Amino acid sequence: MGEFELIERVFARRAAAVPPRAGIALGIGDDCALLAAPPPETQLAVSTDMLVEGRHFFPEVAPNALGHKALAVNLSDLAAMGAEPLAFTLALALPPERARDADWLDAFADGLMALAQAYRCALIGGDTTAGPLAISITVFGYLPRGQALRRDGARAGDDLWVSGALGDARLALEALRNRIVLSPAQQAQARQRLERPTPRIALGQALRGVASSCIDLSDGLAGDLGHVLHASDVGARINADVVASLLQTPAPVTAQQRYAYTLAGGDDYELIFTAPPNRRAQVETAARQAATPVTRIGGITAMPGLALHDAAGRALAGSFAGFDHFA
């Protein structure tokens, strides 16, 4: 399959099968896609995330899951701002043996486009080149002007909340690396979280006007929360036992592993957000509307830094900094 046949047969055809939506004047096929100017009082949210083989995924990962995850991690950034998905572009570097493998390409594109359909996010263009397998997606979304959920809005006294489950993706990674032994059922449950994360799009939108700050969790709770604390010039106190209880897979892990996976595991793609205590009912309503569970794990403090305590209120030692690609 040549480059143009590949683009047409694998991507353009699937993109054309997604019902067109207002806002996209021209999709795949010309030198540029054309987006209509955003409606009045609307801002365009834009984000790019890249996945590189060997760094973000194993070479043998199922191609359908890879397509899903490549878009899911980008949609997660829109979710973290409270934006509504509109469109995305796909830049793909493919080793020659992948470019020749129609089954692999079809499965990758199916995984990608199933998620695109589910969130009405149109594939409007991209680039395809030979090279080591790498997938770079740029997403575009809409936000009512001034209502983005930013990192710099946390205030001392705010509650600290997290959506969904934590640590299962890291648990799957440890099992894949043979550092921990799981039953087939446990392995399947944890791998689902590693390979097919759910972007919390509905929750992000429901939290507009409710949350004071928000970030999505890609590199681990402690590290990603650190970005919010830094941007907002505040600190936080976290009940580490509540966080540890958010590991979903019933796995034979030690208390220390449970803390490490949930506080610093990475690849969770949940939202961590803050809101004043007088908005607890509104947070619960947003969570119900979005059909996404949320848990209050602590609060924001004027004193900088991240303080961890256990269920009995005892301070926990140990550092749970997030994953840094260059560290």
Choice between 5 and 30, CB closer to ligand ADP? 30
**264-283 residues near ligand ADP, rule: CB under 6 A:** none
Asked if residue 163 lies in contact with residue 42, where contact means CB atoms within 8 angstroms, the answer is no
- Contact track, ligand ADP, 217-246, x by CB under 6 A: ------------------------------
In the complex, minimum distance from the CB of residue 124 to Mg ion, in angstroms, rounded to a whole number: 13
In the complex, minimum distance from the CB of residue 112 to ligand ADP, in angstroms, rounded to a whole number: 9
**Residues of 189-204 as b/e, b for ≥16 C-beta within 10 angstroms?**
bbbbbbbbbbbbbbbb
With CB under 6 A as the contact rule, the residue among 67, 125, 220, 223 that binds ligand ADP is 125
Q: From the list Mg ion, ligand ADP, none, pick the one residue 126 interacts with, judged by a Cβ distance below 5 to 8 Å according to partner type.
A: ligand ADP
Q: Does residue 11 interact with ligand ADP by CB under 6 A?
A: yes
Phi, psi of 202 (to 5 degrees): -65, -40
In the complex, minimum distance from the CB of residue 276 to ligand ADP, in angstroms, rounded to a whole number: 43
Choice between 123 and 240, CB closer to ligand ADP? 123
In the complex, minimum distance from the CB of residue 92 to ligand ADP, in angstroms, rounded to a whole number: 5
Choice between 127 and 284, CB closer to Mg ion? 127
By CB under 5 A, name the binding residues for Mg ion.
127
First to last CA, the chain: 40
**31-70 residues near ligand ADP, rule: CB under 6 A:** 31
Measured from each CB, the residue nearest to Mg ion is 127
In the complex, minimum distance from the CB of residue 106 to Mg ion, in angstroms, rounded to a whole number: 21
With CB under 6 A as the contact rule, the residue among 20, 29, 250, 318 that binds ligand ADP is 29
In the complex, minimum distance from the CB of residue 126 to ligand ADP, in angstroms, rounded to a whole number: 3
Size of the site for ligand ADP (CB under 6 A): 13
Angle, vertex CA 55, rays to CA 117 and CA 248, nearest 5: 65
Q: From the list Mg ion, ligand ADP, none, pick the one residue 92 interacts with, judged by a Cβ distance below 5 to 8 Å according to partner type.
A: ligand ADP
Scanning 121-129, 168-176, 250-258, 290-298 for contacts with ligand ADP by CB under 6 A, the matching segment is 121-129
Q: Concatenate the DSSP letters of all residues of 162-208 into one string.
A: EES--SHHHHHHHHHTTSS---HHHHHHHHHHHHS----HHHHHHTT
Q: Does residue 153 interact with ligand ADP by CB under 6 A?
A: no
In the complex, minimum distance from the CB of residue 201 to ligand ADP, in angstroms, rounded to a whole number: 22
CB within 8 Å of 267: residues ≥ 6 apart = 169, 170, 173, 193, 194, 197, 218
- Helix boundaries (H) for the chain: 3-6, 13-17, 63-81, 96-99, 102-118, 168-176, 184-195, 201-206, 221-232, 240-244, 255-264, 280-289
**Residues of 43-52 as b/e, b for ≥16 C-beta within 10 angstroms?**
bebebebbbe
Asked if residue 197 lies in contact with residue 166, where contact means CB atoms within 8 angstroms, the answer is no
Q: From the list Mg ion, ligand ADP, none, pick the one residue 165 interacts with, judged by a Cβ distance below 5 to 8 Å according to partner type.
A: none
**Which H/E stretch holds residue 226?**
helix 221-232
What tokens were used for 264?
């610093």
Q: Does residue 92 interact with ligand ADP by CB under 6 A?
A: yes
Helices (H) and strands (E) in the chain, counts: 12, 12
Other Cβ atoms within 10 Å of 152 Cβ, number? 13
What tokens were used for 284?
């619960």
What tokens were used for 156?
């001392």
Choice between 8 and 310, CB closer to ligand ADP? 8
Choice between 137 and 263, CB closer to ligand ADP? 137
What tokens were used for 35?
């987006």
> Could you list the residues that contact ligand ADP (CB under 6 A)?
7, 11, 28-31, 90, 92, 123, 125-128
